[in-house]
A and B are shown apart, each in its own frame.
Chain A
């Protein structure tokens, strides 16, 4: 099979699971809708809180309403997209520890991809709806900014899935790594939702390697010519690097787990 046929095949596979998961969630319509709505409201509460904070205490380097909304919108949408498609990513450690991986091992599809997409997080669509809604309503972007927003959402989602799989896979060595995995993912989300200008020292060095915050801000305020910083697509960029070297292989599973 040539590469494009393989991609189509996996695309259909992921799409099929996404449809089946959505139909499954809609079986309990009230529960599903209430969870999505609750997550949406939860994100709105956080955003209102941080907007209030940054209005009362304006930070340096021009962090204002636009930047805070964009940062929260991209982070929520990326996390939502990741866990809508790969709902099992955050449960991987528990699946490994309980031996439930055996269910997927004899099946003909790539094991990791299959495990990840076989469940959908019921609250995740709420995150995506919040992210897109907040960005469209509050920022009112130009088409080019919206395009970059979607790109950031996708690359962010790849980053979330990749990082979650890495940390949850610690269960292969540690046994019960659910707690540790959850804490590390929470750390990733935590650092993603604060302006990088507040950090200094070694943390700043670690965060600066990931250009995500800068990209997110640019979504909101940059002219089309400035949409991407010149070094954004450098192989050293974490998004780009993860996608090229790990993300694609991770998702499409060129080799079984």
Chain B
């Protein structure tokens, strides 16, 4: 029995650790399914945004040809918005991030004792929650888009290309979000930093409108920054599937994730020095 417990506490190899992360992901998914009604209520905002933008694009189209200006038809713009909204709304909002509160309250000291590295536990939990929300929002969004603007030509390949990039972008996004969260060892409240990061993702990532619809100066800024790969590219693949664009987006998202590991690990390891535990 004692030996079993010891084995549980051992960090284990890569495969074992991945198994534990997968287990946390599945448990979170199952526990969140119990509150699927509340999740459905949250889609109310998504419905509203889709409706508002349908009206906005129709009004815009009266003055300027939207297809010429953006490269997307109104139908495609709304389906694009369905995907970007599902991507962004599925992320935890700045007030829901648990790492901050665990660092502030000192609960991190209890979590560190678990037989799974603290960041990886959160990776599993966040991914589980995000996948569920993303799937649900995408489904509801597609139904709403069907009702308000009708269908567009979607393919299974397009769905796979966009969702595979989205999955990698979730990991990259989580890495940067976690790196921001652990700065709460020094800053009492990281809400402001999270808010600015989310806004940068929304605006410079092309959440509301595709980058091709931006004015030149804003388009230049957005294209020079990596946020577009987390939002614009997966959504563009959803509407306009393209193998080469998929390779570019996947590579860029992997690079974003890998680049984020450095600040995450440095800040996390320095921050851990501030944690002291006592008692037994």
Show the binding face of A for B, using Cβ within 8 Å.
28, 30-31, 34-35, 37-39, 41-42, 45-46, 48-49, 52-53, 55-60, 122-123, 176, 179-180, 183-184, 186-187, 190-191, 194, 197-200, 203
Q: Are A57 and B196 in contact (CB under 8 A)?
A: no
In B46-104, which residues have CB < 8 Å from any A CB? 48-49, 51-52, 55-56, 58-60, 62-64, 69
B77 → A minimal CB distance (Å): 12
The residue from B55, B187, B214 contacting A56, defined by CB atoms under 8 A apart: B214
Q: Are A31 and B49 in contact (CB under 8 A)?
A: no
Q: Are A60 and B62 in contact (CB under 8 A)?
A: yes
Instruction: Provide the bound-state CA to CA distance between A213 and B44, in Å.
Output: 23
A175 → B minimal CB distance (Å): 11
Q: Are B69 and A57 in contact (CB under 8 A)?
A: yes
Q: Are A42 and B195 in contact (CB under 8 A)?
A: yes
B18 interface residue (CB < 8 Å to A): no
Instruction: Provide the bound-state CA to CA distance between A187 and B189, in Å.
Output: 27
The residue from B41, B62, B64, B218 contacting A183, defined by CB atoms under 8 A apart: B41
- Given A45-B199, A123-B191, 6 extra CB contacts under 8 A: A31-B189, A46-B203, A58-B64, A123-B192, A183-B42, A183-B45
A110 → B minimal CB distance (Å): 28
Instruction: Provide the bound-state CA to CA distance between A199 and B188, in Å.
Output: 43
For B193, give the chain A residue with the smallest CB separation: A38
For A36, give the chain B residue with the smallest CB separation: B192
A and B contact pairs by CB, cutoff 8 A, 9 listed? A31-B189, A38-B196, A42-B195, A49-B203, A122-B189, A122-B191, A123-B195, A187-B45, A203-B51
Residues of B within 8 A of A184 (CB): 44
For B203, give the chain A residue with the smallest CB separation: A49
The residue from B51, B195, B214 contacting A38, defined by CB atoms under 8 A apart: B195
Show the binding face of B for A, using Cβ within 8 Å.
38, 41-42, 44-45, 48-49, 51-52, 55-56, 58-60, 62-64, 69, 187-189, 191-193, 195-196, 199-200, 203, 208-209, 213-215, 217-218
Q: Are B187 and A31 in contact (CB under 8 A)?
A: yes
The residue from A38, A180, A190, A197 contacting B192, defined by CB atoms under 8 A apart: A38
For B49, give the chain A residue with the smallest CB separation: A190
Residues of A within 8 A of B208 (CB): 49
Q: Are B215 and A52 in contact (CB under 8 A)?
A: yes
Q: Are B195 and A179 in contact (CB under 8 A)?
A: no
B42 → A minimal CB distance (Å): 6
Top-8 shortest CB links A-B:
A38-B192, A31-B188, A198-B59, A183-B44, A31-B189, A57-B60, A34-B192, A35-B192
Q: Are B62 and A194 in contact (CB under 8 A)?
A: no
Instruction: Provide the bound-state CA to CA distance between A42 and B191, in Å.
Output: 12
Q: Are B45 and A186 in contact (CB under 8 A)?
A: yes
Residues of A within 8 A of B60 (CB): 57, 59
For A181, give the chain B residue with the smallest CB separation: B41
A127 → B minimal CB distance (Å): 12
Residues of B within 8 A of A191 (CB): 52
A34 → B minimal CB distance (Å): 5
Instruction: Provide the bound-state CA to CA distance between A14 and B140, in Å.
Output: 43
Q: Are A199 and B45 in contact (CB under 8 A)?
A: no
Indicate the member of A28, A49, A57 with the most B CB atoms within 10 Å: A57
